[in-house]
Amino acid sequence: MAPQKLLLLSLVLFSFKSLFCYSRLDEDSTLGYLDDISSYGMAAYPSYYGAVHGERGAIAYQPNRFVLERVARVARFRSSQNVVNVEDYGAKGDGTDGTEAFEEAWKEACSSSTSAVLMVPENKNYLLKPITFSGPCKSDVSLMIKGTIEASSDQSDWNGKNGRHWILFSGIQNLYVGGGGNINGNGKIWWQNSCKINKSLPCKNAPTALTFYSCDKLTVENLNIKDSQQIHVSFERSTNVDVSSLTITAPESSPNTDGIHVTETKNIRVTNCVIGTGDDCISIESGSQNVNATNIVCGPGHGISIGSLGDHGSKAQLSNVIVDTAQLKGTTNGARIKTWQTSAVEVSNVLYKNFKGTSASEVAIKFDCSTTVPCHDIILQDIDLAGGDGDATTSLCNHVNWTKKGNVIPLPCAK
C-alpha cells in the first residue's frame, strides 16, 4: 500500500482590505511551471512601482509591540563599545571578494562577551561567495548592513559547498539584521541556466539569498533585497521572528524567486513589506504555527500561498496563519492553499474576508478539495471580485462546506 499522508490546516484567515487582483493558474502534477511573461509592467502601474522602489506611502506604517523592542535595541547599538567593522578585517568594499574578511569579523562579533555590532559601511559594494554565520554566540549580535552586499556571479564558487544557500545564519539567538542597505543576489546567471527557462537543461537547485535556520528571537528589517538566485529570504525551524520593512524585487520572469518563505517556523510576524518577484510573494509551508503577515504589497508574482504541502507522501501540519491587509497587483494568483492530491488531506477553519478587486480569469473563487475529507468550516465574508472589464465572475467548487457572511460576489457554489 502506498504511504499515506496527513495534512491539517486550521485557523487560517485571509483578510484583504485593499485593491485585490486575482487570477487562476493551474499547475501540473510536479508543481513545476513557469509563467509566461504577462502584460503587467511598470508602465501599467506607475504609482505601485513607485512604492516598490522605495516610496512606502502605499501602506501606512502600523506600530506594534516589536517597535519599542527595536528602539531599545538601537539605543544599545549606540552605546555599545564593541563595533566590529568588516573593513578592519580586510574587506575593501570595491567589488572584490570580501568573504574571508566577513568570516573573520563574524568570529570576532560572535565571540564577544558583550553585545556586538558587525558593521558593513555605507557607499561600498562587498562581493561575497557562499558564507555561513554560525552560532551560538556569547552575546547579542547585530549585523548592520549600510552598504551593498553582492553575490558572486561565478557558479563554480558553489562547487563542493551547499548549493542551496548563499548567506546562511544558523543556530543564533538574539540576532538583529538590518541597517537600510542592499543585498543583491546577482541571480540572472542562475535564471538563464534554470530548466524552467531552458528546457534542455537538467533541473538543479539554486541558492536562497538569505536563510535563517534554527534562530530564536530574530529581527530582520529595513533592507532592500533584489535578484536572488532562487528564494530571497527563508525562515526555517526558527522561533520568535519579527520581519518588517523589507523591499524585495526580481523580474516577473525569474523562476522560483519567492519573496519570503516560511517553513517549520513558529511565532513569526511579517509587516510592512513590499514584494514583487517571479514567484510567491510569501509562501508558508508545513510545520509553521502562529504566522501573522500584515500590511503587505505584493506583485508582480504568484500571490500569497500556503503550501505546497504534503509532497512525497509526507505528513504536513500548519495552523494559526493570518494574512491581514494586503494589496496585490499584477499577480497570477491571489490567496492560495496548495496541497498534493491524496486520500488524507484536511483543510478547515479558513476565513476569507474583505477580498475586493478584479479577477483576470472568469473563475474568481476555486475550491478543489479531497473527496475523502472535504474542506469544511470555510467562511466567505464580504467579497467582491469582478472581471477585468467589469464582467461577471463565477466560482468553482468540489467537496467543500462553506458559510457565506455579508455580500459575496461571485455567488458561492452550490453545497
**Residue 310's pLDDT band (cuts 50, 70, 90):** confident
Mean pLDDT lowest among 67-81, 150-164, 294-308, 328-342:
67-81
Check: CB of residue 284 under 8 Å from CB of residue 321.
Answer: yes
- Arithmetic mean of pLDDT, 240-244: 98
Q: Is the pLDDT of residue 304 over 50?
A: yes
Mean pLDDT lowest among 75-79, 195-199, 291-295:
75-79
Q: Take residue 190 and report the three cell numbers written for it.
A: 542562475
Q: Which of 27, 16, 25, 22 is nearest to 380 (CA)?
A: 16
Q: Is the pLDDT of residue 325 over 50?
A: yes
**Residue 345's pLDDT band (cuts 50, 70, 90):** confident
Q: Is the pLDDT of residue 75 over 80?
A: no
The average confidence (pLDDT) of the chain is 83
- Residue 61, CA atoms < 13 Å, CB-side half-sphere: 10
Q: Would you name the residues annotated as active-site residues?
A: 279, 302
Q: Is the pLDDT of residue 187 over 60?
A: yes
Helices (H) and strands (E) in the chain, counts: 4, 28
**Residue 158's pLDDT band (cuts 50, 70, 90):** very high
Q: Is the pLDDT of residue 7 over 50?
A: no
H/E stretch holding 235 reads strand 233-236
**Residue 77's pLDDT band (cuts 50, 70, 90):** low
Q: What is the pLDDT of residue 173?
A: 98
Q: What pTM does this model have?
A: 0.84
Mean pLDDT lowest among 48-52, 219-223, 252-256:
48-52
Q: Is the pLDDT of residue 5 over 60?
A: no
Please report, rounded to a whole number, the percentage of residues in the chain having pLDDT higher than 90: 66
Q: Which residues in 172-195 are b (16+ Cβ under 10 Å) and which e? A: bbbbbbbbebbbbbbbeebbeebe
Q: Which of 266, 258, 382, 272 is nearest to 318 (CA)?
A: 266
- Arithmetic mean of pLDDT, 24-47: 29
**Three-class DSSP category at 411:** coil
Q: What is the pLDDT of residue 151?
A: 98
In Å, what is the CA distance from 86 to each residue of 95, 118, 122, 362? 14, 7, 12, 54
User: Which residues are within 8 A (CB) of 264 and not within 5 positions of it... i.e. 6 or more apart?
Assistant: 236, 237, 285, 286, 287, 288
CB atoms within 10 A of CB 1: 3
Q: What is the pLDDT of residue 79?
A: 56
Q: Is the pLDDT of residue 28 over 80?
A: no
Q: Is the pLDDT of residue 1 over 60?
A: no
Q: Which of 321, 386, 318, 376 is nearest to 355 (CA)?
A: 386
**Residue 9's pLDDT band (cuts 50, 70, 90):** very low
Q: What is the pLDDT of residue 109?
A: 98
- Residue 13, CA atoms < 13 Å, CB-side half-sphere: 16
Q: Is the pLDDT of residue 313 over 80?
A: no
- Arithmetic mean of pLDDT, 126-132: 98
**Residue 315's pLDDT band (cuts 50, 70, 90):** confident
Tell me how far apart the alpha carbons of residues 92 and 127 are, in angstroms, rounded to a whole number: 9
Q: What is the pLDDT of residue 340?
A: 78
**Residue 295's pLDDT band (cuts 50, 70, 90):** very high
Highest mean pLDDT among 33-37, 59-63, 109-113: 109-113
**Residue 19's pLDDT band (cuts 50, 70, 90):** very low
DSSP 412: P
**Residue 14's pLDDT band (cuts 50, 70, 90):** low
Give per-residue pLDDT as tens, 369-392.
888 888 999 999 999 999 877 788
Q: What is the pLDDT of residue 76?
A: 52
Phi, psi angles (nearest 5°) of residue 63: -60, 150
Mean pLDDT lowest among 59-73, 102-116, 292-306, 327-341:
59-73
Higher pLDDT, 270 or 81: 270
Check: CB of residue 149 under 8 Å from CB of residue 184.
Answer: yes
Tell me how far apart the alpha carbons of residues 313 and 160 are, in angstroms, rounded to a whole number: 30
**Residue 343's pLDDT band (cuts 50, 70, 90):** low
Q: Is the pLDDT of residue 393 over 70?
A: yes
Q: Is the pLDDT of residue 25 over 50?
A: no
Phi, psi angles (nearest 5°) of residue 114: -125, 165
Tell me how far apart the alpha carbons of residues 256 and 240 are, in angstroms, rounded to a whole number: 26
